[in-house]
Amino acid sequence: MLKVKICGIKREEDLKKAVELNFDAIGFILCESKRQVSLDEAINLSKAVPPFYPLVAVVKDPSPEEIEKIIRSRIFTHIQFHGSESPELIEKVPLKTIKAIPIEGKEDLNLVESYTKVADMLLFDTKVGKETGGTGKTFDWSIIRNYSKRKPFILAGGIGIHNVMDAIKKVKPDAIDVNSSLEVEPGIKDHSKMEKLIKLVRSIKED
């Protein structure tokens, strides 16, 4: 069953809409980004989420102290790592872990082996120069088409209403991650687009 994670949530009304539409997970970006929220803001927003709802803390090269604060907040089920974190660091995290692998060329798949044994899921996202996520652009999906699937993976990077069905058909991910394609502007979600996308994805289950 394909899962859909919506990321970059900053507003309570967008959070409530994501819950209403039954997105499978909600991501809060705690690292530098146009969609960044503080840990305190994430904690406050999480009060509008039903119990047991999967919440993901998105970080980039966090310090041990930052990781500890995220764990102690008790609101997150997952931590998603978007930097150059070591496998040893990820392995010690008691929450579920997602390791982002930024993709620009085939050589970027060399990172996969290092994290396969320690992360619960991998996430393939678009790399553009120094940007390793949140670009709103797709990468060449053929690069991961022959990925040896020893670990569940999430497809990210420019996934939206216009290409989600194509992405699912061609890449066959376990989950997709959506963000900028569902926005009016950074950090403000378009509820109509959210609803259209989730209906498209859920229609696959009815076939």
- Residues labelled catalytic: 7, 125
Count the helices and strands in the chain (H runs, E runs). Answer: 7, 10
- The label of the residue with tokens 């960044």 reads 36
Residue 78 phi, psi (nearest 5) = -135, 155
List the Cα angle 103/26/153 in 5-degree steps: 35
Determine the Cα–Cα distance for residues 49 and 142; give it in Å rounded to an integer: 37
Tell me the three state secondary structure of residue 170: helix
3-state secondary structure of 2: coil
Its sign, for the CA torsion 58, 67, 97, 115, is positive
Rg from Cα positions in the chain? 16
Q: What is the largest CA-CA distance in the chain?
A: 47
